[in-house]
Structure 1
Amino acid sequence: MADEYFLLVCDDVPNSVVLTDPGPCALNVAQVVRRLTGLSLWHSKVRSTQVPAVIVDGVRQEVAEAAVAALHAAAAQAEVRGRSEPDSPEA
């Protein structure tokens, strides 16, 4: 019996939302981070001031784009980063 290995490729690669600049309204950004993560306001403010910070990780593309839009509406700079594909195993 031979062992076979398969590389599974998902249609939707998990994405991360990275906050790159909180902008001038740190409290508004902290409130958006709180809504997105469920953290307390204090923890959200700490996370939003330590940039670059991963706000949400492992979400679908649509969810990540909605999170970035909410952060942009609060005058912050954020981006969606997709996870890199794993290297294929050598045969």
Structure 2
Amino acid sequence: MSARHDGVDSSTVSSAVDSSRSSSEENSGMSRMGKWAAVVLMVQFAIIVGGIAGLLVRASAADIPTSILGGGGAFAPALFVLLGIAHYTQR
């Protein structure tokens, strides 16, 4: 049993796939480093949100462990919302 050959060289196919990948990355508008920079900014913003929430909980005369839990409870949703927005706006 011999494999059917359509006259297409495998190196031609692989170079076409590579060029389509590079053009899709260029069309996305963000390089790999730009994506990491955006993630770092999102994490920093979520840290600020969590810190402010922790301070507000502490200002309401709660003890320190409750303040930490309040700040963490604000950090995680803020980060996931930002990552979700970033994911769906790249399309």
The TM-score normalised by the length of structure 1 is 0.30
Larger-Rg structure: 2
The TM-score normalised by the length of structure 2 is 0.30
Q: Which structure has more helix as a fraction of its residues?
A: 2
Of structures 1 and 2, the one with the larger relative CO (CA 8 A, separation 6+) is 1
